[in-house]
Structure 1
Amino acid sequence: MSIYLGNRLVSPDYFTVTSEMVPPRSWNPSPLVEQAVRARGYVDAVDLSDNLLAIARLSPVVGAFFIRQVGMEPIVQVNLRDRNRMGIQSDLMGLAALGVKNITILGGYPARIGTEPNAKEVYDLETMELVRYVRRFVDEGKLFDNTVMEEAPQMTIGVVENIAGKPVKELIDRLEAKIDAGANFVRTQLVFDLDLLGEWMEEARRRGLHERSYIMASILPLRDADHVDAVLKIPGIAIPETIIKRIKEADSPDEGMKMVVELIHKLRTIDGIRGIHIRPLGGMDRYVSTIVKEAGLMNRKLEKIAEYAS
């Protein structure tokens, strides 16, 4: 129940900070590298999205190579929408060859919302199936057809979970099934409503899932009124009216940054939340370093990163 930072698994009492990066719509990795350099020293790892919002972008596997060149730890998303099991295995072997030790498995938004609405969605495997296959890939060094590799890779498996949209029992049933299948760490969908998260975490704690997985809350600094409207169109996102009103009245990225810092302080008090994942979508990536500093996250002790048996 952890993630890798460097060659070591993080201990449960270390509060991890990660940030999402969206690969460019170009073969040139320079924007990705520049963003990683700006985040270096402020976040523990960067998460590379995989054709976010069903828009074709530079491969996150290739992006991971360049991220490692500048001394950053990559977490690579693997979406089920775009690949069959052969393509997924190729990516997993490639990531292991690069030394990437953390992946996140997710379904991916439907193709119809992106730039290629007529694209054929693959979904050869379901999330739970892929988690089980990757667990065996890591623990036993086996490919999906049971072929044994010369050496098993070091890798942790992450999943993404909604905290809204269904009764909390159904949501936690799904979370528990993914953990049973072998997920090591969990990132929530974007958190704006602490009451929703509180209810979700209460049920997760009741079942002891916070002790079996490393749970991180995802947050997004809202830029302005237009950004709020765009985020509300993303499936599975719930934003309280008080926050919508506050951001739209201010209509400034400074207010969004202030709001997210306040949110981080509250998240750190919730039992079972082991870290935060900053998603600076909509051009907010330049605020990541400021958010981390303003939230008092620069004083975390890296020596708490210790070998931990997941």
Structure 2
Amino acid sequence: MTLLLEKRQQQQDSFAVTAELIPPRDWNPRPLIEQALRYRGYVDAVDLSDNLLAIARLSPVVGAFFVRQVGMEPIVQINLRDRNRMGIQSDLMGLAAIGVKNITILGGYPAKVGTEPSAKEVYDLETMELVRYARKFADEGLLFDGTRMQEPPKFTIGTVENIAGKPIKELIDRLETKVDNGTDFVRTQLVFDMDLIGEWMEEARRRGLHERATIMASILPLRDADHVGTALKIPGIVIPDSFRGRLAASESKEEGLVIAAELIKQLRQIEGIKGIHIRPIGGAEDSVNKVVQYAGLLSSPKIPASA
């Protein structure tokens, strides 16, 4: 059984904490390993992003191998932008071979936002299709053409959901279809607006989706007022003007971390949210442990990174 579901099933009041781990733009995995070690004892698992923001980086499949070597639980992203169904199956088999049990399926940001704007986008499958294929791959050991492997690898499957941009009903319709097709856990897009996530969760609860999947809210620790502008370039992000004002007016370099901790504390009060996913986009990797501490998420003594 995999980490996220195990926590949820053993303790219904448990609260999972994960952090995004961004592979380097280099073949050398050392920075990835060192960051994983810093997170050890503060988060339950690390999510290895897949060419985040349409920028070519070290393969998350390779990164997951090294992360497991230092005792961290990896969740590996698989984006649909960069590979066809053959490449995806190769990655899934490779992940199973090295013992990875958690994957996140997502479309991927458009190529035009990254360093290779003329790159050809693949999108051979839609998210819903891959969820269905991955569910049969995980539970029945079936490749996408129906070929049966010796044994199923038993993956936990996650997806990423927008909470803005469309009527709430349409957004939850999409979530419900993903859960129907085999999604085990869900991360929202970055959350800054409590009213927005509150409405989204209200409809999710009305349909009982919080009982069928582990719903986690994503948080971005902001560095400063300029970081707000950078974050707003990410599709699907809504940030209240008040946060930019607080960051601009504060003399503290950790105001953004305080804001993140405040958001987490509010999110923990929303029925149905079972965890937090911290996304340190834009050079905020060193902020994750402090946010975990400030939000009061350390429930037991943690292992120092040097242990």
Aligning the two structures, in what range does the TM-score lie when normalised by the shorter sequence? Answer: over 0.9
Amino acid at match of 2:206: R
Partner of 2:198: 198
Return the offset for 1:300.
5.9
Return the offset for 1:27.
0.1
Unaligned runs of 5+ in 2: 303-307
Check if 1:260 corresponds to 2:260. Answer: yes
SS in 2 for 1:105: strand
Partner of 2:3: 5
Partner of 1:109: 109
Partner of 1:45: 45
Partner of 2:305: none
The within-5 A match list for 1:238-277 is 238-250=238-250, 253-277=253-277
Amino acid at match of 1:5: L
Amino acid at match of 2:53: L
**Bigger relative contact order (CA 8 A; separation at least 6):** 1
> Measured at CA, do residues 251 and 135 of structure 1 come closer, stay the same or move farther in structure 2, by a change above 3 Å?
farther
State the Cα deviation string for residues 76-116 of structure 1 (Å, max 9, x = none). Answer: 00000000000000000000111101000000011111111
**Worse overlay, 187-196 or 234-243:** 234-243
State the Cα deviation string for residues 136-184 of structure 1 (Å, max 9, x = none). Answer: 0011110000000001002100000000111100100000010011100
Partner of 2:139: 139
Residue correspondences, number: 300
The within-5 A match list for 1:176-255 is 176-250=176-250, 253-255=253-255
Return the offset for 1:61.
0.2
Amino acid at match of 1:234: I
SS in 1 for 2:270: coil
Structure 1: how far apart are the matches of 2:198 and 2:184?
Answer: 21
Partner of 1:57: 57
Partner of 1:296: 296
State the Cα deviation string for residues 1-51 of structure 1 (Å, max 9, x = none). Answer: xx8229956424321000001100000011101100000000000000000
Structure 2: how far apart are the matches of 1:6 and 1:211?
Answer: 14
Amino acid at match of 1:272: G
Structure 1: how far apart are the matches of 2:69 and 2:208?
Answer: 38
Partner of 1:130: 130
Partner of 1:169: 169
> Measured at CA, do residues 255 and 239 of structure 1 come closer, stay the same or move farther in structure 2, by a change above 3 Å?
same
Partner of 2:278: 278
Amino acid at match of 1:4: T
Structure 2: how far apart are the matches of 1:274 and 1:10?
Answer: 8
- Answer whether contact 1:47 1:75 (CA < 8 A) is retained: yes
Return the offset for 1:301.
10
SS in 1 for 2:254: helix
SS in 1 for 2:246: helix
Amino acid at match of 1:73: E
- TM-score when normalising by structure 2: 0.94
SS in 1 for 2:159: strand
- TM-score when normalising by structure 1: 0.94
Check if 1:17 corresponds to 2:43. Answer: no
- Answer whether contact 1:132 1:181 (CA < 8 A) is retained: yes
Structure 1: how far apart are the matches of 2:280 and 2:117?
Answer: 25
Percent identical: 71
Extract structure 1 runs of 4+ deviating beyond 6 A: none
Structure 2: how far apart are the matches of 1:88 and 1:10?
Answer: 28
The within-5 A match list for 1:23-34 is 23-34=23-34
> Measured at CA, do residues 127 and 301 of structure 1 come closer, stay the same or move farther in structure 2, by a change above 3 Å?
farther
- Answer whether contact 2:7 2:14 (CA < 8 A) is retained: no
Return the offset for 1:295.
1.3
Partner of 1:159: 159
SS in 1 for 2:257: helix
**Worse overlay, 221-230 or 123-132:** 221-230
- Answer whether contact 2:19 2:278 (CA < 8 A) is retained: yes
> Measured at CA, do residues 251 and 169 of structure 1 come closer, stay the same or move farther in structure 2, by a change above 3 Å?
farther
Structure 2: how far apart are the matches of 1:184 and 1:7?
Answer: 8
CA RMSD of aligned residues (A): 1.7
Return the offset for 1:125.
0.1
